[in-house]
Structure 1
């Protein structure tokens, strides 16, 4: 852990939300801090890019894109990315805070792991990579430093996609190669290109390192190591650790083939192969390999109490250094004083290793059950001789509905056969407010809902007098109500107002009815014998079709013989006093401007009065007929 305390960011609040509390580590690309999310009151990890990178526009653009892709991953073995922000010169990621240690810490302490323990750790690593590969995301920087082990034994993979962003920066290409050269696939060295099979190669290198305690290719310079990746094959791990079975050697040599087409084609396929080999190894296999190694090379005494074993990962002799490393690791596992000297970190890691080495009389709660369907997890545990019970479901932000949110004892814990493991199902992601999408198009509504983590379920349609056609009327649940994003949101879309049947109705009344609906009306006149004068003889749209305010509609009215046609609205007859009466539409409740236009289109003058507001609250006259050209008074209000 980085013990430096003079850090200018400690104590600051980034983006008005994240208060930096302490610095965890500093690397070639960024500095990592523990912070508190003030808004949600939770502890998070903040990765702040170094100033040189933050000023590189190409890097920032690529970094933001990769961060978005990583944030889309939802898997129990992936360190979650919550947010990406910029605060002045600081470009940073907000991530899940994982309290624990890295796989590199475990290797530094133990030297190496038994084959069964190594394969056990690789399974959640490959499960995480497999989820990324299914989503089209390549990690590009698989190594023990990016594998975290929580305090309860859960394995999580960090920094998905970020290596690609770093590679995009001209300022950091060299640093990136130096930092990860031990795990680079040949195609990355030769062409700088990487796909999911490059992750498989790096995972194969990491499996080799877990079982042997050292990398397969070593050299005095990064260039020398890169040359070996291209020109030398990875040897079988049994060349350094006698007693490893051929199936384990094949896992490594297949995954690290120079030809990408000969490797497992993604992490999911490699995970299946690793699981199959793991399942075929006896539970005490690591102990047998350790005993065989000691018998083959001679048994050395364990370090004296009070002395810490020093493990040299750079040793290249396949026998004597390996024997010394193995015996010192055994001394570290059994010496009480050594555990005290190593402190809490070593106690955690060494205790975990002892469990693997003595697992003949015990079972374990596999970390892979987190996120698994409850029925599948039950079957796996029961097949291992454990009793399984199910607790009341809880909401969980990392596990979708129906998956295992947690177990008691926790994932990774050692349990005796016949003991009970209680599984707690997830009833979905924690409920959150459904956003208001009323009035939006269906496409915009879907995007808004998906941006908040929801999915759109059933879509139905309904007529509406107030919501325009093809716009959202409502959702189920309603906007503002809370629901788990694991449950779909139903959407009701407007088909608009329903066009009434106007055939045979008085032409003036029909036109005013349409205007009161907010439609733009065109009245055409045509003489048709046998039809009532001044009645609607056709309409467009037809009855029942959806229309919205502002739509153009047309009615055709039969001409009257009693007067000469004098314009689009003058088709009434003289009432005997020289004045032409037309129907007065009731526009109460309409917006003032719309009502005024409808009345003027009908041939009336309009007087608007009132104390404010923009809605017609009273109208005089509000019904019947009035002479064309007479005045209609509208009283507006709020």
Structure 2
């Protein structure tokens, strides 16, 4: 499995053949069965015939691979991904183009995906969820430091090796999404929407632009899913889900699982804030926050208001668009073109209607009481003209007075606006890159007060110098106001802790607490360190390194077992040399006569088989050969007497007549002769005279 998607059934089970199966790509990769398929590529198990190893080959779908411009982008991003050397990133070995087939050769990870774990275990405890998300965020942090954004973080792209591979968690598909999305639209109706919609950050939905904080958002959604077993936003269509990402906050996990501490809710809220300025700047910052929360969980902390307040995103006023959405709950979702068109047409017509007139104070006549018919006016008589007396009209002062008042009001408003909007402000001086004391003096000279904020690490600004200010240099600040200074702690570095003698679990916990990353663990035999204990680390203890630097462990397998052979019946000197060469101690516990084992050979060995360990003792009993007895003088003795004496000494007796036999029946000579040393059981021949 590689590429982070569900394993497919074999080709014959689907009833169709795959033209790539059996093909040799680039003269090197023999394509085997397809093991996964996604929206942009298929993944095959393959054999690297040059290095004789199993790899995963990701092949772009023809619709993408045929585009030369896309292929070039894909190659560039593949090279960037290949530069990521991290224990939790799927390694990229090779890339190529074989007659239009654009492919990647990657590390093959047999096992399952994080999606399978979610199906089986979720909802899970916060400690378990953080242990699964921590390697993912660690991999993203390494990518962000290298300037690479994943853009498609989801459980399907998190691979978990089987037991044979140590269950290691690795993130796949770095660089692929960026290659595809370079010139495509992130809309519901046109182009390609890169990234699974359930994990898309709001800014990707709105304008298609993203940075490291989009990966942070996706990781926060995955953490929510681990904690609750559900995705935070559901809908009948991908468009509805995308709409909710833009307009709805991710709910607190404790609403679904009440036992979750408030500071875990705050961690999820910070990572999934819709306003990306409220999120951690990149995965490295999120990883640090995860370490803090994990430590609180390990310490059994039920509630930590200070940690919760530190992690929770600050409340900001909603944007104008959001206010309009809230005030008009009849508006359809903006991603439905037809509904939006109907809505706009309806609202436009409504806005064109004349405004309703104010009600008339007098009551209108009712139907029951018809209006009275006016009486005809009486006829007037012709009137005689009467002279009109006129007087001089007095000039009204109301107009100039009102004008003066308006002018004064406008002047007051303008003056107030000038004062409140400009005059009472000054410009924040530039105090970056100087010492705290110098910055404070500069602010004091400008009539401003200095407040020291939380210091931060910096790779570019030396420790003790001002890293930033709030407001920033050049921004407006109230006269006699306060400027918060952020002082640099210098590069963030941590010492590798002393891990020798710890168990592997203890060492990994110590590495995590030191804000470093767990690397590979290699087992080696040791005659001095107990099995299961750490022998040493790489980098070595006391080495000062960057945060999230992988620390590899060498773990003792205990004493090296030594298998031995049974040397019984073999030359004792040869056996001693062979055993001592294997760092064993040989002890000859005795020498014995043996009628069956030759002199100098091993009669017995203890123990006869292993395993033994360096310095253990092997005991040998060495043969002296058969026991020898001197043949006595038998001449002139009778046959019976000589026979009895020799048999008593352990000999066999044979009787023969000598060449000079004359019938006396006495022993004339023996063979072997008298005085010879002969092994017991040997035959002594008596020659009679």
TM-score by length of 2: 0.43
Q: TM-score normalized by structure 1? A: 0.47
Quick check: which has more Rg, 1 or 2?
2
Report which structure shows greater RCO (CA 8 Å, sep ≥6).
Answer: 1
